[in-house]
Structure 1
């Protein structure tokens, strides 16, 4: 019995999401191996080898894997699955891109965004924006599983796994990576931040979003988030969006400012350890999940809070 975890890594560093996926994979049972594929795999592999509970690290580096396109990852992972009973993948933008193709090539059902491993064939996952929980049983010989990292604690860093080279697929493939435009910021990455300050439609404009949300986030050393309504209105960029169709976060502190608390948004942040809500509508749904709620005009309360810090 063996499990393959596909590492999530960015800019030469292993993502915290990988540690959480390893925790989920260890609950499946058997040996856990990590596959580090893509650009800078050579730099990331030693870091992956330190993750607790990992038997060995497979390192695959090549031009075809530079950006982990779905076709390249499928060509790499599917042959490796002859030695594994399951593959665990973070339910991130990258993982959601190639996991379905791997499942299709293996002719199995993908098990998406699990939050609990009951046994080797039974898993728990949220549905209906997290308002219901489904228990899924799979009889497939090979399991392709994406993991909601916020549901699992991160594995430690006291491991000493061996590192083994794996050949990258040769290609060419029908699709290829052309270019990307990355938003550069000194702030913590949203999905891994310990503190998040989010703004909603009540801010009224991108100028007000910058004026009230950013200084508070700076004081707290927090990442900045936004509701879908705020993003759709142009107050904040798409990569700030928290929610069912945005990013799933579970920081130690989540401050929701001018956010009503629609189901779509709650699905992305309700697992936060402490939720603070500031909204002038005392009937706003956000107060039903908040640990601390302040019924007040955000344009008065937020500057006072920022000044007090």
Structure 2
């Protein structure tokens, strides 16, 4: 199911985000190659991709970039043979094919940049046009970079901006009605009272009680003199160009109570709430890690039942 994705026709389809996405394809591949440059063993098993070696995973990544580049470059009007993506057999006795991986990422990014977000192109189930390919392969690369880091025993980190967008894309994908046609058994996740809140640990659901207890009953009318003394004499004329990315809400809220599942940014009372670092939440929904060491409150069975029925990427 690696090809399924959806991009809204609004902000996600804008030229700015489209440019971010095809730039991320290269950036994530550069991070992958850099992390493996010390001489990773291509024969190492990839725990999150059973049956694959690290070498097979890298061939899948590079093959996927080249296949998608051909789709974009030719403005494909239908499915193109994807043997280069699925046939991952090869020699795992050599070195990490860093140059080959980077060439494929640059090839796809250049094809997307040349096409632009509005060029017509085939997508599975008519989802999203050119922005589909940019966003899908940006996050395909992110998640497979995580797979490679796991196989190589290297820590995985992802920028907040990238992780937030990857979560949004995953939520849109998971909520698409086509999944119920392709996998009718997924309807088992739906039911009365089934709601899930995923809260990034970097943004607590509410202020802890001990912090509230330490706050004054009333805030002072003006800033105390000692605080004013610590502030710079002049405030900057404008905010720095590079500000840390933030979530618009406190996380993601999944509603399984209807005929299909829906989602929104933010929090709220839920049957089960999961709190963990953002990238751990991302790896959890992609089933690259379990929620075992996360903070879970409420009906944990709803969470685990839901996770058992979301298998893509």
Range into which the TM-score falls when normalised by the shorter chain: under 0.3
Answer 1 or 2: higher relative contact order, Cα 8 Å, separation at least 6: 2
The structure with the largest alpha-carbon Rg is 2
TM-score, normalized by length of structure 1? 0.26
More helix by share: 2
